[in-house]
Amino acid sequence: MLIYNVTIKIDHDLHEDWLRWMREVHIPDVMATGLFESHRLCKVLGDEDAQGITYAIQYACPDLETFLLYQQQHAARLQAKHAARYRDKYVAFRTLLEVV
């Protein structure tokens, strides 16, 4: 089992809109690819500062082959939608984790 973890710090002024959009649009779009078994949206505690609020979105997939399929067929399009909507109001980094 692998966890695709996306950590995002979003500006305070867009926080509520971003959270609603993630729950109603982005996460459902990612899950609609059929490549992830589950997801979890987590707020990072103790990291609030003047730059924004940090969240980690975790998507579970069964194996590396499935994750690579997501990367090849869906990731660029979905990331571009996020970037177009929130432009320079966020910082993101992605990590692939193996459940041991």
Q: Where are the domains of the chain?
A: 2-98
Per-residue model confidence as pLDDT tens digits over 25-67: 999 999 999 999 999 999 999 876 778 999 999 999 999 999 9
CATH number of 2-98: 3.30.70.100
**Per-residue tokens: 66:** 């499935």
Query: What pLDDT, on the 0 to 100 scale, is given for residue 16?
Result: 95
The span from the first CA to the last CA of the chain, in angstroms, equals 8
CB within 8 A of 38, min separation 6: which ones?
A: 59, 60
Task: Output the pTM of the full model.
Answer: 0.92
Half-sphere exposure of 55 (CA within 13 A, CB side): 15
